[in-house]
Structures are given as C-alpha cells and as structure tokens.
Amino acid sequence: MSEGQKISVLGFGTMGAGIAQVCAEASHEVVVLETSDERLEDGRRRMESFLDEGVRRGKVTEGDRDEALARVRGTTKVGELAGCGVVIEAAVEDLGVKRELLPAVAEAVGEEAVLATNTSALSVTELAATVPRPERFGGLHFFNPAPLMPLVEVVAAEQSSGETLDFLEAFAEGLGKQPVRTKDRPGFLVNRLLMPYLNQVVQAYDDGLASAEDMDTALENGLGYPMGGLKLLDLIGLDVHLHATSAAYEQTHSPYLSPPPLLGRMVSAGYLGRKSGRGFYDWGEAS
C-alpha cells in the first residue's frame, strides 16, 4: 500500500490513539471518528503526550512529531469518512456499539473500502456480517501500546477473502509491523495463549503462593519474561483482562479461560491497575 492514503480510525481511546499515531507516522492521512468533541480532545492529548515522550527519549524528532499530528484530524460525523480506503474500528469492546457503528461507516466509505476491527475479544466473523460485501472485512489486532508493540494479528473471519487478508498483511508491514495470520477463534492467537497464563498467575497469588513482588521476580528471572504477570495485568488493566477472558470463556467453556474470582472482586473494588492507581501494586495517582 502506497504512502499518503486516507485511513479512518473509529475511536480515539488508548488503542485508537495509538493506531492513529502509527498510521500517521507511516505518512497516511488519518480521520478519527468519535462520539463527542471532548473525546476527540482527550484522544488528541493522549497522542500528543505519547509523541512528546518519544521526543524526550530521542526516539522521535520534533519535526516528525509535528508532521504526524498534522496528519490526524477528528470528526463526530460519519459522513466525513467518505474517501477513506481503509477503516480500522477501535471502538469500545461492546458488540452492540460495533454492530450499530460498522454498517453506518460502511455506507459512508463505500463498498471498495477495506474494513478491519481491532477487537481482542469479539467475533470478527460476527462483525463482518454487519456490513455489505463482508469478504472485504477482517481483523487487524494491534497490541498496547500500538506505537511500540511490533506485532499485529491479521484475523481471518469466515467471510474474509484471501485478497483482503493479503492486503491487511501488506498494510501492517507498511506500518512497520510484523503481521501474523490467525483464525477467528476466542482470543485469536496471542491472547489465547496469554489469558490462561495470567489467570493462573492471579489464582496462584490468591492462593498465597508468594507476594506480588516475589511472584513477578520469579517469572522475570526464572522464566525470562520481560515483565511479571501481575505487573503486566496492572499495565493491561484488570477490567480489560476480565472482559477478554470472560468473553473467551463464554464461547469455549474452557476452564483455562475462566477468570479467577479474585479478578472480579478487584475490578468491583475499582482496583484496575495503573490507570486507577492501584491493582496488584500501588501505583500512586491514577494515570
């Protein structure tokens, strides 16, 4: 895919902002759709903060930062997505929201546009069924933080054509990412392997096997993981993991995917990890 294409990102939350940044840094024009001007402003600040940190660390030049920001604009009107050749849906992980949003966007961009979803927990096949010509629909699952994580899962819905999957793989490569193809199954590939591991870590902690610090130290220095499981959960967000593993369990009834009771209790208490200031660790003020 050539540079300078017009891309639409649906949603300007954590993932949407990261995906918009990645596309803009690859010289694509990006139009972000959100539900309000306030949410657009929040997403813009999130993207600016991430790029500013890149400048501070010497990873991004001030000129590159400014050019990337200039390529991204926001809108609350679906009609302004006309002319976008690629749509990446990164809205809230709510099936009802996505089922309502995708047909409206598909109508605005026309039947030649390629549509993709960044969902990590919902069926790509079910989402593809909401749009005309579902063969041009697939999964394009980025990992958080999208500007830094090199992997992108290209997920084949039952309706996805080989041409669409080839396009999405080439598109991801053009963003500087490493794509891997996977079938549309609960958790896809990475999360299907990750979720049981994190569930086991939470259960072992709840069983009193070790303190959070000792458990993560053992995982990092004994198994060579770059980050212990409890630290990783605090980074991901306990609510995010609970939602994902619950959705996967509902589809498979695999005991490995059943979320440990402690996870639900912590989410109910508002202990979501770094973003709330407290999870398995005390992170101070919410970030």
pLDDT confidence of residue 255? 96
Is residue 153 among the annotated active site residues?
yes
pLDDT of residue 11: 97
pLDDT at 2: 52
Q: Is 144 a catalytic residue?
A: no
Cβ density class 249-287: b for 16+ within 10 Å, e for less: beeeeeeebbbbeebeebbeeebbbbbbbbbbbebeeee
As a dihedral over the C-alpha atoms of residue 264, residue 269, residue 273, residue 276, rounded to 10 degrees, the angle is: 140
Does residue 250 carry a catalytic annotation?
no
241 is a catalytic site residue: no
Block means of pLDDT (10 residues each) for the chain, 287 residues, are: 80 96 97 98 96 96 97 98 97 94 98 96 95 98 94 98 98 97 95 96 98 98 96 94 92 95 98 96 83
282 DSSP β-pair partners:
278
Structural domains of the chain sorted by starting position, each given as residue range(s) with its CATH number in brackets: 6-183 (3.40.50.720), 190-276 (1.10.1040.10)
Catalytic residue among 29, 141, 160, 169: 141
Let me know: does 2 contact 10? Beta carbons within 8 Å.
no
Rg (CA), the chain: 19
Q: Which of 153, 160, 241, 258 is catalytic?
A: 153
Say which DSSP state 109 is in.
H
Annotated catalytic residue: which of 191, 199, 258, 276? 191
Determine which one of 8, 118, 120, 258 is catalytic. 120
Tokens of 131: 């749009």
